Structure 1
Amino acid sequence: MSNSPTPTPAFTSTVTEAVLPGIVDPEGIQVRTRTARPAGPGQVVLAMEAAGVSFAEQQMRRGKYYDQPPFPFVPGYDLVGRVVDVGQDVPRELLGRRFAALTKTGAWASHVTVDAGDLTEVPGSVDSAEAETFVVNGITAWQMLHRLAKVRPGQVVLVHGANGGVGSTLVQLARVAGARVVGTASAKHHDAVRALGALPVDYRAPDPEDRLRAHAPRGYDAVFDHVGGEGIVTSWRLLAAKGTLVSYGTASTRDVQGSSRAPVLKLLARLTLWNALPNGKGAHFYNIWAGRRRPGAFRARLHADLSQVFALLADGALVPQVAARVPLTEVGEAVRLAESGTVVGKVVLVP
């Protein structure tokens, strides 16, 4: 797929988008059309070629994402698309070129308006859906691995949910960094986890902590935990003397009724307490939006990190994990599949 300027796709008069009207089943997500709006100053309109279905949207559907907007709204954390319109002060040379963007919401649409400063160009040799699997997942994994845990060659790391979107990316990037990787996953995903380069451990088997400790008797140099809940205590215990725990979610409470903020606040309090202990270990909660109050530095960091990931993808050092490509008009099916626990990698919406 070429990424050089191409004949610019026609700017459409209507936009198709998936709207989350409230706390609904996947089939309750509504597909609507509206009148298209041109790009404003400093903005571009992307014709979506791929948009991801991530864990954040699964939480939003339940009203459980920490700072989601009020219903109704269009979900969609990230996308890859081609520029079809540019606003004032944006170079027309961007027209027809393909970019990735992190949006947090709004990407589940045929056309998405974003700030031009939020764009990262996609290598011409990379398929749009394959690139999409490494946008929010790639930024998240890269920053946790290199900016927080600072994983080095020869270290041993533990990745929970190694078959998932972020987990499978973490495994691959950790292997590229020269680390030995152990990954938790259900038994049906073990072959896929091995293929990524990690040693799989069944988290549902008896005594999972003992099984994990057997593969790193001195402890893990880094543990990446998206589960949260009481399981985070096990992750902390499995650390080596100067190991680093990186928590980046509360998946264990996804289906628990009650406040969306309480599990996060409890987790943050626990991590803060652990960091105060004089034992040499470190604990972090990763938030991809941290630092956005300094937009220039925030954008530069995101762009640099995603560019590193895309370069590895273009070189063949990373293997995309596209679980399925589902049309935007069948968004309910895509969400149900993503939530089923039966897939490896990421479900991707396509036009």
Structure 2
Amino acid sequence: MGGPGPETEGLVEVVLPGKVEPEGLQIRHGTVPVAGRGQVVIRMEATGVSFAEQQMRRGRYYDQPPFPFVPGYDVVGTVVATGEGVDATLTGSRVAVLLKVGGWASHIRVDAADVVRVPEGVAAAEAETLVVNGITAWQMLHRKARVRAGKTVVVHGANGGVGSVLVQLALAAGARVIGTASARHHEALRERGVEPVDYRDDDVAARIRGLAPDGVHAVFDHVGGRGIVDSWRLLAPGGTLVSYGSAATRDDSGSKQWPVLKLLGRVWLWNSLPNGRHAYFFNVWAGRALAKGRFRSRLRNDLTEVFAALQRGDITAQIAAQLPLGRAAEALRLAESGTVTGKVVLTP
């Protein structure tokens, strides 16, 4: 792909030193890592700001590592070095990888088995918007809720990183989509074919029930908190609630585990009721520790499906803004502002 090799470059990382405001992020310089057996080194072309980093800087992400660490949930870049036992033809290829942490860096060392090739013609920033967001949306829609044509679904935060992908995938599947968002995003949602509801309304659930009086097939809820009960009650018989976050508790103090444990308790209780409805708390990493090979296979297959949907035009890359890695604090502020559609992307 051209450009200097890893041996002529230095490592640049953005470090989260503790519970800080975005301006408290630090830049650290070091030596580019060397690929060990079964590993590759990737030169970052695009990484992103997700809700996870917003929680991590507050110390609120469920299983974040101890401070200090390098945040960054996913990366798209070019393989610049391969270790022993790795297919050497990977060198020069553009790949995507899901990390959880470590992505806000100029170079990343990962297991070769964890990378997914990005199709020719898909730009790095476009692909980046669809790694964690695309995997999350695809698996919730098709593996959990199993949405089919003619069904009605509710997507909370329909203008957000995951929400905007969910909306497009659901529409491509032939579903009717009701999406919550602030009023300034409603016109754009209508143009996509979404029926918008203002999440600031006094009774959002009543507004949704007015649009779908018989209930809905699926609700995708990243908010959590007390509103999760309303999401459950919106379901028609046989419907599915997929909870995948607790944005309502982002700024709370106290235990970071409690909101998730409370959600898990509700999910267990609801699934024990004899009403034919289903509830899930979705985490993209679920099952990795017990079945790493299956996890990697599903991730590779599902992300390949997402990239194929992009190439078909079923979905578009929602890039809210592109900023260089050195302006990570500004990028984090922008992502947290709630004023953007899609994902804020960091580039070298």
TM-score (normalised: structure 1): 0.97
1:14-47, Cα deviation, whole Å (9 max, x unpaired) = 1000000000000101111111221111111111
Q: Distance in 2 between matches of 1:8 and 1:258?
A: 47
Task: Give the structure 2 partner of residue 294 of structure 1.
Answer: 291
Q: Which sections of structure 2, spanning at least 5 residues, go unmatched?
A: none
Structure 1 counterpart of 2:307, from 310, 317, 332: 310
**Shift of the alpha carbon at 1:202?**
0.2
Contact kept, 8 Å, 1:168 with 1:196, in 2: the verdict is no
Structure 2 counterpart of 1:177, from 173, 177, 191: 173
Q: Which sections of structure 1, spanning at least 5 residues, go unmatched?
A: 1-5
Structure 2 counterpart of 1:194, from 186, 190, 199: 190
Contact kept, 8 Å, 1:172 with 1:197, in 2: the verdict is no
TM-score (normalised: structure 2): 0.98
1:231-289, Cα deviation, whole Å (9 max, x unpaired) = 00000111111110000000000000111000110111011111111111100010101
Task: Give the structure 1 partner of residue 273 of structure 2.
Answer: 277
**Shift of the alpha carbon at 1:195?**
3.0
Identity %: 64
Contact kept, 8 Å, 1:226 with 1:249, in 2: the verdict is yes
Q: Distance in 1 between matches of 2:153 and 2:26?
A: 41
Structure 1 counterpart of 2:201, from 205, 216, 240: 205
Contact kept, 8 Å, 1:51 with 1:108, in 2: the verdict is yes
Q: Distance in 2 between matches of 1:196 and 1:247?
A: 24
Task: Give the structure 2 partner of residue 3 of structure 1.
Answer: none
**Shift of the alpha carbon at 1:331?**
0.4
Number of positions where the alignment pairs a residue of Structure 1 with one of Structure 2: 346
Structure 1 counterpart of 2:152, from 149, 156, 163: 156
**Shift of the alpha carbon at 1:123?**
1.2
Question: Which stretch of the first structure deviates more once superposed, 86-95 or 50-59?
Answer: 86-95
1:346 aligns with 2:343: yes
Task: Give the structure 2 partner of residue 323 of structure 1.
Answer: 320
Q: Distance in 2 between matches of 1:49 and 1:25?
A: 26
Task: Give the structure 1 partner of residue 244 of structure 2.
Answer: 248
1:283-322, Cα deviation, whole Å (9 max, x unpaired) = 0010101111211111000000000000111122211100
Task: Give the structure 1 partner of residue 112 of structure 2.
Answer: 116
- Runs of 4+ in structure 1 deviating by more than 4 angstroms, as ranges, are none
Structure 2 counterpart of 1:62, from 55, 58, 63: 58
